[in-house]
Amino acid sequence: MKFLKTFFFLIFSLLMLMACNQNKKNSIKTSILKAEDFQKTIDGKPVSLYALKNGTIEVFITNYGGRIVSILTPDKKGELADIVVGFKSIDAYLNANAPFHGALIGRVANRIGNGIFSINEIEYKLPINNGSNHLHGGPKGFHNQVWEVKKANHTELVLNYVSVDGEMGYPGNLNVEVTYALNAKNEFSISYKAKTDQPTPFNPTNHAFFNLTGNSSTLIYDHQLFLNADAMTILDSLNLPEGKMTIKNTPFDFTSLKKIGKDIDTNPTNLQLKRGNGYDHNFIINKKNTNELVEAATVIEPESGRKMEILTTAPCVQFFTGNFFNGSDKDKYGDPINYRGSFALETQQYPNAPNLNDVPSIMLHPNEINESSTFYRFSVIE
């Protein structure tokens, strides 16, 4: 009898331990981030972590670079997973090999050829940080700045940054306000508002990397993508736009849902895929009115059932498939950030716009206010 009591006690203890471990496993995605790991002073300014929550979705943002650190969304079984690639501490962001994870990008997203543009016949030179190009605002662009927190609650975070005249070579004092909001419809939005005291180019975006499985070490090939675009810009040998092309019946045709991996490795026979080392291209969104909020993209991950729709007022979206990650960075869960283990859909203006005459201008002038918005709508399919 004593043996049986001991046996049942051991079984009960084992079951309780398993239950505790299971609960820990299920909750780790929501408990991995600690506010104290993001509390730091950088350039004399305080950095912290902020959370938006609506009872279904949780979004975590740091005011260092306005970075989206984590988005927790449920799958078709109601289980939460983190669909944004990010790091577990501010020090990890500072030491990462890849500099743009989840960050606000500016003054100008994408590339400016040779880091040069002119306004009223005055030439401005920007730092080169991507081959012969200036990329994403330069090494001390928006992504590496501490933003002032103007408002913070569970539904809204408002950040402000003043990019001073001459910063990264850009003219004018540019005052930028970015509002992150999460509503009851499971829509997470980013709204930009800016003004300047001198003419200056302005093209903001956010550089979040997604994997809707919740595991950034797995390939994104089975994700299904729709892009509301019939045309894209063509890359030259320096990854600058050299014209436009229609995408029908090409590897870039995502006008109906298609697996990301279906055509991505046809690059030996496709010059554009070869130049981008996969997808790293600007798609021109189908829209009638300039500032109209329209669907830019939809992504579905069939196994989890997660669905993400992106709506934007921007005219373009850059689709990038993480073609240069090599596992050297580890994400917040200790998993390697692998080659093509995540994707970005960066809503934006046309690349290299200050040097092109056939695309809409991105110049912001005094007495003007530039406003734009992007919405991420989350749901599940059966």
Q: Considering the domain 30-86+101-201 in this protein, what is its CATH number?
A: 2.70.98.10
Mean pLDDT by 10 residues, the chain (382 residues): 44 41 38 91 98 97 98 96 97 97 98 98 97 98 98 98 98 98 98 98 98 93 98 97 96 98 93 96 95 96 98 98 95 95 98 96 98 98 89
> What are the residue boundaries of the structural domains of the chain, listed by start?
30-86+101-201, 214-368
CA-CA distances (angstroms) from residue 57 to 19, 79, 188, 281, 377?
Answer: 25, 11, 9, 30, 11
- At 216 the pLDDT is 84
The distance in angstroms from the start CA to the end CA of the chain is 51
- At 2 the pLDDT is 45
Burial of 328 (0-12, 13-18, 19+ CB in 10 A): exposed
- Number of CB atoms found within 10 A of residue 249's CB: 7
- At 20 the pLDDT is 41
User: How far is it, in rounded angstroms, from Cα 319 to Cα 276?
Assistant: 10
Residue 198, φ and ψ in degrees, nearest 5: -145, 155
User: How far is it, in rounded angstroms, from Cα 349 to Cα 284?
Assistant: 9
- At 28 the pLDDT is 35
Best CA proximity match to 276, nearest among 248, 241, 304: 241
Burial of 109 (0-12, 13-18, 19+ CB in 10 A): buried
Alpha-carbon dihedral 308, 321, 92, 109, rounded to 10 degrees? -90
Fold (CATH) for 214-368? Beta-galactosidase; Chain A, domain 5 (2.70.98)
User: How far is it, in rounded angstroms, from Cα 373 to Cα 369?
Assistant: 13
pTM of the model: 0.91
User: How far is it, in rounded angstroms, from Cα 65 to Cα 374?
Assistant: 18
- At 25 the pLDDT is 36
How does DSSP classify residue 234?
E
> What are 244-251's contacts with CB under 8 Å, separation 24+?
244/284, 247/283
User: How far is it, in rounded angstroms, from Cα 15 to Cα 145?
Assistant: 49
Best CA proximity match to 49, nearest among 91, 79, 107: 91
Tokens of 375: 């919405």
- Number of CB atoms found within 10 A of residue 36's CB: 9
Q: Give the residue numbers marked as catalytic.
A: 207, 346
Tokens of 160: 């402000």
Place of tokens 């913070």: 152
User: Is there a common fold for 30-86+101-201 and 214-368?
Assistant: yes
- At 32 the pLDDT is 87
User: How far is it, in rounded angstroms, from Cα 64 to Cα 46?
Assistant: 9
- At 268 the pLDDT is 87
